[in-house]
Each structure stands twice: as structure tokens, then as C-alpha cells.
Amino acid sequence: MQVDGGHRPPRESELGEGVEAPLAELRAHDRALRLDARTHIHREAFDAVRARVIAIADAEGSITLARLRDELETSRSYAQALLEALDAERVTLRLPNDSRVVRRSARR
């Protein structure tokens, strides 16, 4: 999801009461992705971030947490959650210096 401050998925608590069942349904149909215990992102928004990460990593050789945070004009915690989700989906590979490179299998 995108809000006025850039890419910042809302926390479940910001969505109001009774969102658990609808979020579960969205996840079941791959329309939403859980970033962490309290944060979800719409699949289309996540796919847009995925494309940006791949483009930056291709142009610059890798991407760092700080680079993604600045690119998305978001907080460090959200950028970290996004990168961890990309790691989990095997799009990126975290290197010992904490930067990420795009996995060959993720280039479609």
C-alpha cells in the first residue's frame, strides 16, 4: 500500500477492528502479503517494490537497507521488512555486509 509518506504499509492496528478475517482471505488469494506480525502489504504494491529493488540492484550491483529506505521515502523498519520479505521469497540474497543482490532465479 502507498500512503502520503511514500511506501508505508499500515499496521493492522491502523486498519481498525475486525480486519483479521479479511486479511487472511486476502493472503489466501495472494492479494496481500504479511511483512511481519503486525504489517501487511498489497501484492501489487509489493511487486512494484520488487521491481524497483531489482532495477536498483541491476544498476548499482546491490541494494542496501538505507538505499531502499531513501528510494521509497519510508522508515528503516518498513524498508527492512520489505527486504526481509524479498529474501523470504528468494528474490534477493543477503550478503555478509548486509547488502542484497538479486538471485538469478528472480530475474523473470
CB of 85 within 8 A of CB of 78? no
CA dihedral sign, ordered 11, 17, 21, 25: negative
CB of 92 within 8 A of CB of 86? yes
Q: Tell me the domain boundaries of the chain.
A: 7-106
Residue 11 clears pLDDT 70, i.e. is over it: no
pLDDT of the residue at 83: 95
CATH 1.10.10.10 correct for 7-106: yes
CB of 39 within 8 A of CB of 9? yes
Q: Would you call 97 helix, strand, or coil by DSSP? A: coil
pLDDT tens string 13-55: 666 565 666 666 666 666 778 787 777 788 888 999 999 999 9
